[in-house]
């Protein structure tokens, strides 16, 4: 099993102590978002790999020594997003991007650059954030992180419910074929000559014709390779290698323990946050000693152990 922490919420930023407590306890509970009374219980002993997804790993860094001792044979992978936007797109801008760069360096030196994925996504186009703007921002980012990662991932903004709600403020413009060409050729030219793979995430426009790698973030080959470093042979684990549902995504299926509407970043393009009142309410319900990220177990919950 590959645990995803998390696509629904930046747990490392806002709920780091809760996560440490769950690792100490040896298990975590997560509700089915469509059938909330169904609760999956996941024991960390059954987890082959953990993929962290965050914009700000710093709140979790003080706990890494303890986590490494508790999970000595579990690879920790970090997807760290750095975007070039201001408060018009990302109302909560914390920490400073230079601090995130320093955290990327720290994590790369600690775990190895093949465990670090830097994400420049999503790319939004409007009158301010032009294609030229993105090319300059990406070039600056690349030279800051090129020695500390093996993978750079990009994606283009999708029209989620929250994105559509905020479209009047963001004034998103559609990408043209010429835009894809400019980004593909320019980004590849910047990366060319390095040992870094650059690829798109779950996109129809995969930019391979401009030099991008055929890539997905967490493939079965990648999981096998990294787990082998930790003395794990999971080559026969069919359940680990189930694919995601996205037609354009080649990643293996991961188990997300996050919760919708509980991330305090309020990014206007996010698919997982679409009601700020619920975000505040859910944050209020959080208990760092609960087995659930938001709220507590109830008497009529149905708990089933999940092993894959």
Max distance between CA atoms of the chain, in angstroms, equals: 59
Is the model's pLDDT at 246 over the cut of 90?
A: no
What predicted TM-score, i.e. pTM, was given to this entire model?
A: 0.94
pLDDT for the residue 238: 65
Up-side HSE of residue 263: CA atoms within 13 Å toward CB?
A: 29
User: What tens digit of pLDDT does each residue of 119-137 get?
Assistant: 999 999 999 999 999 999 9
User: What tens digit of pLDDT does each residue of 183-233 get?
Assistant: 999 999 999 999 999 999 888 899 999 999 987 789 889 999 999 999 988
User: In whole numbers, what is the pLDDT of the chain averaged over residues?
Assistant: 93
| CA nearest to 265, candidates 14, 97, 5 | 14
What 8-state DSSP symbol labels residue 211?
Answer: T
Q: By mean pLDDT, which of 137-141, 265-269, 296-300 is the weakest? A: 265-269
Phi, psi of 137, deg, nearest 5:
-65, -40
User: What tens digit of pLDDT does each residue of 281-294 get?
Assistant: 999 999 999 999 99
Is the model's pLDDT at 305 over the cut of 90?
A: yes
CA angle 29, 158, 148 (to 5 degrees): 70
Using pLDDT thresholds of 50, 70 and 90, give the confidence band for residue 251. Answer: confident
pLDDT for the residue 203: 87
What is the C-alpha to C-alpha distance for residues 191 and 235, in angstroms, rounded to an integer?
32
pLDDT for the residue 243: 66
| CA nearest to 163, candidates 83, 55, 277, 270 | 270
What is the C-alpha to C-alpha distance for residues 25 and 27, in angstroms, rounded to an integer?
6
Burial class (CB in 10 A: 0-12, 13-18, 19+), 41: middle
Residues across the chain: 308
String of b and e for 236-268 (b: at least 16 CB within 10 Å)?
A: ebeebbeebeeeebbbbbbbbbbbbbbbbbebb
pLDDT for the residue 93: 67
What is the C-alpha to C-alpha distance for residues 100 and 56, in angstroms, rounded to an integer?
6
| CA nearest to 98, candidates 54, 52, 144, 149 | 144
**What are the angstrom distances between the C-alpha of 225 and each of 122, 221, 255?**
28, 6, 20
Q: Across residues 231-243, what is the average pLDDT?
A: 74
pLDDT for the residue 216: 79
pLDDT for the residue 244: 64
Q: Quote the percentage of the chain above a pLDDT of 70.
A: 95
User: What tens digit of pLDDT does each residue of 40-91 get?
Assistant: 999 999 999 999 999 999 999 999 999 999 999 999 999 999 999 998 898 8
Which residue, chain included where needed, has tokens 């894809």? Answer: 180
Q: Across residues 111-115, what is the average pLDDT?
A: 97
What is the C-alpha to C-alpha distance for residues 119 and 201, in angstroms, rounded to an integer?
9
Is the model's pLDDT at 162 over the cut of 90?
A: no
């Amino acid at each position: 099993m590959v645990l995803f922490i998390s696509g629904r919420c930046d747990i490392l930023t806002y709920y780091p102590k809760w996560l440490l407590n769950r690792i100490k306890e040896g298990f975590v509970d997560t509700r089915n978002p469509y059938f909330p009374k169904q609760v999956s219980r996941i024991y960390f002993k059954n987890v082959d790999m953990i993929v962290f997804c965050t914009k700000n790993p710093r709140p979790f860094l003080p706990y890494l020594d303890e986590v490494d001792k508790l999970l000595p044979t579990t690879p920790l992978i970090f997807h760290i997003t750095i975007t070039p936007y201001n408060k018009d797109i990302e109302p909560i801008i914390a920490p400073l991007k230079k601090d995130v760069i320093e955290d990327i360096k720290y994590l790369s030196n600690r775990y190895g650059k093949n465990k670090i994925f830097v994400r420049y996504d999503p790319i939004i186009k409007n009158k301010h954030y032009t294609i030229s703007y993105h090319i300059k921002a990406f070039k600056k980012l690349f030279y800051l992180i090129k020695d500390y990662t093996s993978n750079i991932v990009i994606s283009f903004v999708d029209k989620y419910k929250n994105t559509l709600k905020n479209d009047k403020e963001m004034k998103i413009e559609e990408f043209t074929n010429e835009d894809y060409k400019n980004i593909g050729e320019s980004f590849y030219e910047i990366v060319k000559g390095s040992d870094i793979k650059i690829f798109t995430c779950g996109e129809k426009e995969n930019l391979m014709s401009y030099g991008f790698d055929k890539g997905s973030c967490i493939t079965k080959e990648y999981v096998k390779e990294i787990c082998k470093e930790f003395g794990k042979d999971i080559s026969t684990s069919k359940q680990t290698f189930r694919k995601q549902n996205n037609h354009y995504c080649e990643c293996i299926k991961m188990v997300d323990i996050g919760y919708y509407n509980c991330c305090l970043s309020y990014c206007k393009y996010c698919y997982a946050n679409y009601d700020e009142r619920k975000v505040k309410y859910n944050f209020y319900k959080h208990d760092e000693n609960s087995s659930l990220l938001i709220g507590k177990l109830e008497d009529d919950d149905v708990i089933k152990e999940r092993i894959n």
